[in-house]
Chain A
Amino acid sequence: MPTTCSACGTSPAALRRPRTGHALCRACFLAAFEEETHRAIVAGRLFRPGETVAIGASGGKDSTVLAHLLQLLNQRHGYGLHLVLLSVDEGIAGYRDASLAAVRRHHHRSGLPLHVISYRELYGWSMDRIARHLGPRNNCTFCGVFRRQALDRGALLLGADKIATGHNADDVAETVLMNFLRGDVGRLRRGAGAGTAGGEGAVPRCKPLRHAYEKEIVLYAYFQGLDYFSTECVYAPQAYRGYARTLLKDLEAARPSAVADLGHSGERLSLRSDLRLPARGTCQRCGYVASQPLCKACVLLEGLDRGLPKLGIGKHQRLRDKLRDGQPLTEEERRRLGAPAEADGEVPEQQEPGGESGVQDKERGGRNLRGPRDLDF
């Protein structure tokens, strides 16, 4: 039953837009999608001419489409931006190496410069190794925290003024739901704006695709013939976000506009002014932005290095204080922090080769432990 495209009124429709339900032909859909992204960029004032923008490229659909679009729109509308691809290698065998291959292919086709930084170089730990110590749950906490810092450090080293990530409307909607389910009021407030401001080691970020439905991104990639890597991360099934994702799928089935509606709700949330929310400071060890004396990455790393991987997971403030003060922990406390069950006081296994051996002993408060290392590109 051939329907006519509702935008041009002449060609037969090739698809039905998930976002609005209109039937469109291929050309009109591509044009609409590109125009919407352009308008979102302009209306949100995301970029200024002359800026260097690091595109967080994972090889997946969102970042592939983002990189393609930014390059296209930059040319078409004369944004005057210098674009680079920035990839993070978390060290997940079978997943990340395959997706990085997709990034490299994109890099070759598009001609955009590519830089890859890995957790192993930066922190001394790959995700696979972390997962071996930590178990199946809570991996996403490490990965998310480390990736954020990795992107910032990579961007700083490249001299980028902004980081652009491929978060889409579904991600935004899931985040709103998740923050509500977990009672994370601080993130609810921060999540309302178009991006973060930067400062203290963090590069300003933006999400040019934040209004685009995930399905439309796939449709765009499909009709544009873009190639990307599409397997789910092996550690993802255990993540809490999975619940929010399933919920969003059901909501979308009940009412397709729910994705955009959640985005609208998230923007219009107003919080009480008398709430006590974490203040923004800097990490004492590495200088990165943090709301506590030590940034999350440093805490997580400390736990890993000491063989107590759960140090940064869950509420262990008292135990962290004990460690900080140099007091020994009991066997039971060590177990609670995820110490391996075999023997007490076992030295953590040797660090992986790669990066400098030994510690760059910059002033770390006299302790022989590492925060994220500095890199020379």
Chain B
Amino acid sequence: MLRQVQEGLRRETAKKLRFVPGIIYVDEGAVCGQSPAEREETLLQMEAILRASGFPYHLARLEEVFDLPGSVLQRGPHRPAGPGASYKEAVESFIHQHRQAEGGAPERLAELSTRAMPGAETPGGRGARPLAAARTEQLLQLFGSVKTLTAKEELLQALRTHLILHTARAQGYSKVLMGDSCTRLAVKLLTNLSLGRGASLAMDTGFSDDRHGDVLVVRPMREYSAKEIAFYNRLFGVPTVLTPALDTRAPEKASIHRVIERFLYGLQAEFPSTVSTVYRTGEKLSAAPGDAGPAPGAAEPERCLLCLCTLDTNVEEGSALQAILVSEQLSGERPPAASPAGPGACAGAAEQRGCCTHATAPRADFLPLLCYGCRLTIKDTACLESLPPYVRSEAARRSRRAAMKQQIQEFLLEDDAVTPGES
């Protein structure tokens, strides 16, 4: 994708692209089992590639999620599409701006790029080392408390998205381009289907994803298959860096993602139209919430805390969700409100970790803030306390607000069909 953007921006290209790109790379090595030395090695390789591109770049580490603000989880104000003038005028003004800023490009590059590591910017960076190590510890503890590989993958995706989103907002980018190929999106479609995320399929795999409001996530590579991209890279000498992923060397049926990937690749070998058929089916989905949408006249629909898609957990009569709740109730699960364990306790307490403080919202308040898919992820997370502060504080804030609303429900005039905490 980087190469394509570079091609598109060259002076000689007809229909030249008209935007200012930056690049972000998120280092997830700690979670994927890389040693600090290996991570440093990878970062150096990446930096070389990014610097060669000539665009401002940002290197981020996943550990930074512990320093994110709670506003990351809130939908930003929707930025109207430019001054409202015609496309041609917008292009003209862009070219004009660009010509003015043309001089001194290399220095500006160094200014704009950030290589983020806590405390690394300060010259006397020695004191930063323990802080960085502590963050890595926290990250490992968080992922350690997640019981299944499926949930780990989902959590990793959520955190990565938040980090990218925050960087984009902080640096003033209005769009994020993701490099998902057709093959990867087909896998994602089936995976999300199996994870109970049917309601948000269109946003997760569509061309544009506007769930964050001010920053638009775009997937320009969605029409290319993985094989085509591999050939392109080889033929045109595009440099790549290989890093281990979360499920590298994991057993076959360890996670839903792995199962689907293996299945789809296997089926594709026998029925060569499989991937493209799945992809095309995905194209036919719409991003509108459909039946699970809010009542007319309601304000902003409730959004999931972690993935920011519209909540799909309103219980409809005869639905699968209702059936699961009934089953859990009949099989002896105590209803969340009457939990005898008391507020603030988490499953981690059962394992003698004793890690929970009363600052964390109890699990019972947490779950209603999430969509069906994210609920499953959090259910697999033993210790809620190890979640990054921004998640916990935003969850607590929303819980308090929901409680407030509950108290004054009878006096509110606007018709709000979806309330957190309703089951």
Partner of A261, one of B195, B278, B322: B195
Asked whether A333 is an interface residue with its Cβ less than 8 Å from the other chain, the reply is no
Compute how far the CA of A194 lies from the CA of B201 in the bound complex, rounded to whole angstroms.
22
Asked whether B202 is an interface residue with its Cβ less than 8 Å from the other chain, the reply is yes
Compute how far the CA of A43 lies from the CA of B327 in the bound complex, rounded to whole angstroms.
14
Q: A19-B327, A44-B318, A263-B320 are in contact. Are A268 and B193 (CB under 8 A)?
A: no
Compute how far the CA of A273 lies from the CA of B195 in the bound complex, rounded to whole angstroms.
25
**B372 in contact with A264 (CB, 8 Å):** yes
Asked whether A181 is an interface residue with its Cβ less than 8 Å from the other chain, the reply is yes
Partner of B332, one of A5, A44, A260: A5
Task: Kindly supply a per-residue 1/0 record for chain B positions 265-288, scoring 1 wherever the CB is within 8 Å of any chain A CB and 0 otherwise.
Answer: 001000000100110110011111
Please count the residue pairs between chain A and chain B whose beta carbons lie under 8 angstroms apart in the complex.
176
Interface centre among A176, A180, A188, A243 (most CB of B within 10 A): A180
Q: A19-B327, A180-B278, A269-B285 are in contact. Are A6 and B332 (CB under 8 A)?
A: yes
**B193 in contact with A262 (CB, 8 Å):** yes
Asked whether A35 is an interface residue with its Cβ less than 8 Å from the other chain, the reply is yes
Interface centre among A6, A39, A251, A272 (most CB of B within 10 A): A251
Q: Count residues on chain A whose CB falls below 8 Å from chain B CBs.
A: 56
Partner of B327, one of A20, A45, A251, A272: A20
Compute how far the CA of A260 lies from the CA of B277 in the bound complex, rounded to whole angstroms.
24
Asked whether A303 is an interface residue with its Cβ less than 8 Å from the other chain, the reply is no
Residues of A within 8 Å of B292, CB to CB, are: 268, 270
Q: A6-B332, A32-B330 are in contact. Are A254 and B150 (CB under 8 A)?
A: yes
Cβ < 8 Å to B, chain A residues 1-52: 5-7, 9, 17, 19-20, 22, 24, 28, 31-32, 35-36, 39-40, 43-45
**B254 in contact with A254 (CB, 8 Å):** yes
**A40 in contact with B323 (CB, 8 Å):** yes
Asked whether A271 is an interface residue with its Cβ less than 8 Å from the other chain, the reply is yes
Q: Which residue of B lies closest to A44 (CB)?
A: B318
Residues of A within 8 Å of B199, CB to CB, are: 265, 268-270
Asked whether A247 is an interface residue with its Cβ less than 8 Å from the other chain, the reply is yes
Whole-angstrom distance between the Cβ of A168 and the nearest chain B Cβ: 12
**A247 in contact with B263 (CB, 8 Å):** yes
| SS of B interface (majority) | helix
Residues of A within 8 Å of B285, CB to CB, are: 269-272
Compute how far the CA of A206 lies from the CA of B254 in the bound complex, rounded to whole angstroms.
36
Residues of A within 8 Å of B328, CB to CB, are: 20
Asked whether A343 is an interface residue with its Cβ less than 8 Å from the other chain, the reply is no
Asked whether A182 is an interface residue with its Cβ less than 8 Å from the other chain, the reply is yes
Asked whether A283 is an interface residue with its Cβ less than 8 Å from the other chain, the reply is no
Residues of B within 8 Å of A253, CB to CB, are: 253, 259
Asked whether B258 is an interface residue with its Cβ less than 8 Å from the other chain, the reply is yes
Task: Kindly supply a per-residue 1/0 record for chain B positions 323-354, scoring 1 wherever the CB is within 8 Å of any chain A CB and 0 otherwise.
Answer: 11011101111000000000000000000000
Q: Which residue of B lies closest to A262 (CB)?
A: B194
Partner of A255, one of B197, B256, B317: B256
Partner of B312, one of A246, A268, A272: A268
Q: A6-B332, A181-B277 are in contact. Are A265 and B256 (CB under 8 A)?
A: no
Task: Kindly supply a per-residue 1/0 record for chain B positions 300-332, scoring 1 wherever the CB is within 8 Å of any chain A CB and 0 otherwise.
Answer: 000000000000100011111111101110111
Chain A residues with a Cβ under 8 A of chain B: 5-7, 9, 17, 19-20, 22, 24, 28, 31-32, 35-36, 39-40, 43-45, 169, 176-177, 179-183, 185, 188, 194, 211, 243, 246-247, 250-251, 253-255, 257-258, 260-273, 275
24 residue pairs bridging A and B, Cβ less than 8 Å apart: A7-B331, A17-B327, A20-B324, A20-B331, A24-B331, A45-B317, A169-B320, A176-B193, A180-B189, A180-B278, A181-B278, A182-B277, A183-B278, A194-B318, A211-B324, A250-B253, A253-B259, A254-B254, A262-B193, A264-B198, A264-B319, A265-B197, A265-B199, A268-B199
